[in-house]
Amino acid sequence: MSLIENIIRPEIRALSAYHVPDSAGFVKLDAMENPYTLPSDLRNELAKRLAEVEMNRYPVPSYTALKAAICANLGVPNGFDVVLGNGSDELIAMLSTACAKPGAKVLAPTPSFVMYAMSARLAGMEFVGVPLQADLTLDLPAMLDAIRQHRPAITYLAYPNNPTGNLFGADQVLAIIDAVGDSGVVVVDEAYQPFAQTSFMSRLPEFGNLIVMRTVSKLGLAGIRLGYMSASVALLAEFDKVRPPYNINVLTQVAAEFVLQHTPILDAQAATLREQRENLRLALTAVPGVHVFPSAANFLLLRVQAPTKNGDAIFANLLEHKVLVKNVGKMHILLENCLRVTVSTPQENALFIDALKAALLSS
């Protein structure tokens, strides 16, 4: 046996690492980032605050001020607190670590955010994927059957879903919360909440098994890596035990506290992107050979249809035009020939449309 075989768990050896392509020189429309930055006066003010940070000191791991700012500005109900993560990726990992009893399972519709399955497997849990319907809407009867059969410890619902962009019905989410009952938690992952403008956050007091997870990434702060989740005090206390104590660094802490004093700017950027989403959707609907799926997020999923029917060729051609989108065609059978594109500025959206039309003509 080789060293690797001796020491690395077989399920880890079987995994592929999360691949992030090099985007230098590309119009970057693959990762649902907000294309807008803060205005320059605020950036200068932030620079001063950051210059004063004592980087020689560890953070104070209770993060009281940052958590209070999140609760006050981002709609966390009274009496509820948050646990912070280095991005919601870390929160997902913390949930898996805390719930990975022998035989415990994680359930989610598929296709959905890849880290649900990946994190479950890293923690040694079984992942149960329940396929969406052909039109990419939730298959509620199949979800309820799977919940009855598998009694998952964690059920994830991305609300709206990635990579499909659609918002599952609130009544469907409620039916799932009810079906899971005391045997597990339901994580409503609201990463795209600023673009969906609907939320389960205010309903936390109604459901003891509900966790609402969010990130500031899509809001315009992907680089600082900050996610948060809220749930009952008792649940949060358990999840906080598996949180690495200093997981939010001092620069992130100060930057987030600063930006949270200026949420109207982020709200205005999200409103602009919602408008741009509609403009981009209309423009894509007019392109022959492309089907656009409904989206409540800051990205659109599109399918390359007849006569081309070759998402890989279009993706490759877009790369030649220096436009980077996400080719999700191989991610799941339901996503055959599908590409996912971030909604960006009017200029970048127009570049994308032009490159897409050129790609369709040349394939």
Ligand X SMILES: Cc1ncc(COP(=O)(O)O)c(C=O)c1O
Query: Could you say whether residue 341 binds ligand X (CB under 6 A)?
Result: no
Residue of 191, 270, 284, 324 interacting with ligand X (CB under 6 A): 191
CB neighbour list of residue 29: distance below 8 Å, 6 or more residues apart: 323, 324, 325, 341, 342, 344, 348, 352
Residue of 35, 109, 111, 227 interacting with ligand X (CB under 6 A): 227
Sheet arrangement for strand 338-342 = 290-292, 299-304, 338-342, 326-327
Query: Could you say whether residue 252 binds ligand X (CB under 6 A)?
Result: no
Of 109, 166, 116, the residue nearest 143 (C-alpha): 109
Residue of 217, 247, 317, 344 interacting with ligand X (CB under 6 A): 217
Are the beta carbons of 228 and 83 closer than 8 angstroms? Answer: yes
Taking the least distance from each CB to ligand X, the nearer of 230 and 308 is 230
Taking the least distance from each CB to ligand X, the nearer of 89 and 348 is 89
Taking the least distance from each CB to ligand X, the nearer of 195 and 352 is 195
Are the beta carbons of 248 and 271 closer than 8 angstroms? Answer: no
Query: Could you say whether residue 113 binds ligand X (CB under 6 A)?
Result: yes
> Residues binding ligand X: what is the number (CB under 6 A)?
13
Taking the least distance from each CB to ligand X, the nearer of 150 and 225 is 225
Q: Contacts for 256-261 with beta carbons within 8 Å, 24 or more apart?
A: 256/66, 256/69, 256/70, 256/216, 256/221, 256/224, 256/226, 257/65, 257/66, 257/69, 258/45, 258/46, 258/49, 259/38, 259/46, 259/216, 259/220, 259/221, 260/69, 260/70, 260/73, 260/74, 261/69
Taking the least distance from each CB to ligand X, the nearer of 308 and 326 is 326
Q: For residues 71-100, which are near ligand X according to CB under 6 A?
A: 87-89
To ligand X, the closest distance from the beta carbon of 90 in angstroms equals 7
To ligand X, the closest distance from the beta carbon of 160 in angstroms equals 8
Residue of 34, 96, 119, 162 interacting with ligand X (CB under 6 A): 162
**In terms of C-beta density within 10 A (0-12 exposed, 13-18 middle, 19 or more buried), how is residue 131 classed?**
middle
Alpha helices, H only, 215-345: 233-241, 250-259, 263-285, 311-320
Taking the least distance from each CB to ligand X, the nearer of 37 and 149 is 37
Query: Could you say whether residue 168 binds ligand X (CB under 6 A)?
Result: no
Query: Could you say whether residue 189 binds ligand X (CB under 6 A)?
Result: yes
Write the interaction track for ligand X spanning residues 7-46; mark x where CB under 6 A is met and - where it is not.
Answer: -------------------------x--------------
Taking the least distance from each CB to ligand X, the nearer of 113 and 315 is 113
Collapse the DSSP code of 58 into the 3-class scheme (helix H, G, I; strand E, B; otherwise coil) and give the result: coil
Query: Could you say whether residue 194 binds ligand X (CB under 6 A)?
Result: no
User: Which positions lie near ligand X, rule CB under 6 A?
Assistant: 32, 87-89, 113, 158, 162, 189, 191, 215, 217, 222, 227
